[in-house]
Amino acid sequence: MNALRRLRIRAIVLALATLLLGACSLLGRPEPLVILAPRAPMMTLDAGLAVDWSIQIQRPMADQMRDSDRVLVRRAPARLQVYPGVAWLDSVPEMLQSMMIQAFADSHGFASVSRAGAVRTRFGLNTELRSFELVDDAEGRRVELALQASLVHQRTGRVVSSRSFTVRSQVLSGDLDAVVLAFESALAELLPQLVQWARDAGQVSIERDGRS
């Protein structure tokens, strides 16, 4: 390789390096992503309410927007946006399933609590996630969680009971920590309701239909 060719190659490399540095300068460094990990509430059923049957917690169904780790913000009835720079620890259905399993297990109200497919159980809890978002509108900032739940007899596939749950929690200030606290407050209201309802609905079904 002669000297002239080496000089040409060096000039091309320097030009490319300059272009890359300029692009980095224009784009800037990406903002660090903040990972949110809300805590599930601790709860215990009255010892006299514990049942001797087991329950399996299915992964919640969700639409494409909610089946992700994005934190959603609703500023109008028909418009969802993504909260910039933050994400949930896991996809919302996976995170909610883990929280439900923890809440059911911590209640000490069931013979056993498991994920879908782990063991054979008497009942399964099927849920559909309809809302899991921050609402920011003329009425203020609040968190809204909505869930449709069905308790299913596993052997027959029969739905023994269904119920819709909706809870809201006000966001008390403008920072991100207040948003997380509002989600935790809403979950602390939703999950105990869900556990108590599933326990009661399953027991009513057994007493009505027998232990088949």
Question: Which residue, 185, 190, 199, 69, is CA-closest to 125?
Answer: 199
pLDDT by residue for the chain (212 residues), tens only, comes to: 555 454 454 444 444 444 444 444 444 555 678 999 998 877 776 666 789 999 999 999 999 999 999 999 999 888 999 999 999 999 999 999 999 999 999 999 999 999 987 678 899 999 999 999 999 998 899 999 999 999 999 999 999 999 999 999 999 998 999 999 999 999 999 999 999 999 999 999 998 876 65
Q: Which helix (H) or strand (E) holds 101?
A: helix 92-106
pLDDT tens string 69-96: 999 999 988 899 999 999 999 999 999 9
Instruction: Provide the β-strand partners of residue 131.
Output: 146
pTM over the 0.75 mark: yes
What is the residue-averaged pLDDT of the chain?
Answer: 86
Cα R_g (the chain), whole angstroms: 25
